[in-house]
Homo-oligomer: A and B are copies of this chain.
């Protein structure tokens, strides 16, 4: 094939793709607040949620963040989010990763306090986006009654986006979610002795 033939064939193929895509997009007309879940063992669950938060801020949303574990969102994120403190509310009720505390009763109390904050942010119509970071870990350890959490998420205001992160998301949560992405680890530098680094992990 000559270069001209390649180009012509490409143009034809792309025109077909574009037509198919335009038809598909024309059927998508609904606008509504989504329940979004980022799960899986890979990296990027909280990081992609942070990206959504930044986008939301760019659109002028008020955004609420509740961290269900400590030791995250402490450094790089915080500096940036503080620049938008008129739009962002951060609650850090977590008391540390569960394997750090070894105190189940304290973890349950911390989860409950964080959840109370989450409920009031979700039900406040001023907040267009609420991030429940690592809620899945809390649910996995049964620190909160699953049905109570699901009920709040099911009855969230129509146009509020709620993002839930953490590995091992419960099936019942995936069932009521609108958008679920699984982050899968394909390759990780920890294998080669590289430590957690600024800008990447925190």
- Tell me the A residues contacting B by CB distance below 8 Å: 6-7, 10-11, 14-15, 17-18, 21, 24-25, 27-32, 34, 36, 38-40, 42-44, 46-52, 54-59, 61, 75-80, 83-84, 98-105, 128-129, 161, 174, 177-190, 192-200, 202
Contact = CB atoms under 8 A, between A and B. Distances in A.
Copy tally for this chain in the complex stands at: 2
B77 A54 contact: yes
A129 B199 contact: yes
A164 to B, nearest CB: 13
- Could you tell me the dominant secondary structure of chain A's interface residues? mixed
Given A14-B98, A48-B183, 12 more contacts: A11-B103, A14-B102, A28-B193, A29-B193, A34-B189, A34-B194, A34-B197, A44-B181, A55-B80, A56-B76, A178-B187, A182-B183
Contacts of A15: 102
Given A52-B47, A76-B55, A183-B181, A194 B10 contact: no
